[in-house]
Amino acid sequence: MVMFNRALALFAIWTTAVLIWKHKQEEKAVIEANVKLAAVNNELEAFAYSVSHDLRAPLRSADGFSKALLEDYSDKLGDMGKDYIFRIRSACQRMGNLIDDLLTLSRVTRSRMERKEVDISALSREVAEDIRSRNAGRDVEFIIQDGLRAHCDEGMLRVVLENLMGNAWKFTGFRGRAVIELGIMNTNGVPAFFVRDNGAGFDMAYANKLFGAFQRLHGAREFEGTGIGLATVQRIINKHGGHVWGEGKIDEGATFYFTINQRRGNRACYI
C-alpha cells in the first residue's frame, strides 16, 4: 500500500510537471506568435504608407498640371479639351479618395480597440454637424434618439457613424425633404442601433453585396463613392463582436442596423 501511494504521488508530480511544461510551451508559442504578428503589422503599416506616398505623388502631379493647363491655356483648349481636363482631374480625385478609404480599412484591421463608455447620441450629433458643414445648402433633418450609449471604441464607432450617416446623406441627395434617423430598436429580441433614411434605397436581391469591398449597388454617375465604406463598417462591428446588416427598397430608403457585444464580467449583452 505504501509503495502504491508513493507511485501515485510520483505519478501526480510527473503529471503536474508535464502540464506545467506544456503550459510554458504554449505561453512561449503565444509570445512568439505575438512578436511575429507585431512584425507583420509593422511591415503592413510601412507598406501602406509607402503605397500611399508613391501613389499620391503622381496623382498630385497629374492633377496639378491639369489645373495649370486649365488656368494658363483655357482659351486654346476649346470645350472638348476642357472637358478632357475636367475628366482627368475628377479621376485623380476619385483615386485619392480610394487611397484614403483603403488606408482607413487597413488601419481598422490592424488597430487595437480601446473600449469605454461612449455617448452615441452626442457622437452622432457631432458627425451630423460635420457632414452638414461640409455639404451646405441642403434641407436635411437629422432625428437622433437621446440616451444612446455603448461600451465601445469611440474612434472606430465614429468611423461607423461617418460612413452610415454619410451614405444616408448621399443617397437622399435627390429628395426635396431628406430625413436621416438614428436610434435603437429590438430585432429578434436583440437591441440594435440603426441609421435610416428616405433616399434611393436598394434592391434586397443584391443585399449580399453590400459589405464587399469595391461593391456598388448604384452607378458612379448617380452617386459618388469608392465602395469601401460599408466594408470598413463591417470590419469595425466584427471587431466589437457584433453584426451589421441592411434593409432597403428601391426609391423608399434604406436602414442599416448594427449590434455591439458589450461584455460585463461573465455576462454578455448586445446593444
**3-state class of 173 per DSSP?**
coil
Question: Which letter does DSSP use for residue 247 in this model?
Answer: E
pLDDT at 51 (0 to 100): 64
Instruction: Quick: pLDDT tens for 75-109.
Output: 888 888 888 888 888 888 877 777 777 777 777 76
What's the pTM?
0.64
Q: Are 142 and 126 in contact (CB under 8 A)?
A: no
Nearest residue to 105 via CA among 216, 219, 212: 212
Question: Which letter does DSSP use for residue 188 in this model?
Answer: T
Angle, vertex CA 177, rays to CA 174 and CA 181, nearest 5: 100
| Burial readout 79-93 (b: 16 or more C-beta within 10 A, e: otherwise) | eeeeeebeebbeebe
pLDDT at 254 (0 to 100): 92
Q: Are 202 and 217 in contact (CB under 8 A)?
A: yes
E strands, the chain, where?
A: 115-119, 140-144, 149-153, 178-187, 190-197, 244-248, 254-258, 261-264, 267-270
54 — pLDDT class (breaks 50, 70, 90): confident
- Quick check: 222 pLDDT over 60? no
Q: Are 171 and 200 in contact (CB under 8 A)?
A: yes
For 160, 169, 170, the CA distances from 163, given in Å and listed in that order, are: 5, 10, 10
CA distance 197 to 177: 11
CA distance 2 to 14: 18
| Burial readout 2-14 (b: 16 or more C-beta within 10 A, e: otherwise) | eeeeeeeeeeeee
Q: Are 157 and 174 in contact (CB under 8 A)?
A: no
> 193 - beta bridge partners?
184, 258
All residues at 6 or more sequence positions from 115 whose CB lies less than 8 Å from its CB, including other chains: 151, 152, 153
CA distance 111 to 176: 40
pLDDT average, residue stretch 244-249: 90
Q: Which amino acid is at 250?
A: I
CA distance 125 to 246: 22
The more confidently predicted of residues 182 and 239 is: 182
pLDDT at 230 (0 to 100): 85
pLDDT at 74 (0 to 100): 82
Phi, then psi, of 223 in degrees rounded to 5: -140, 130
- Quick check: 123 pLDDT over 90? yes
C-alpha cell at 128: 451630423
Average pLDDT in the chain: 79
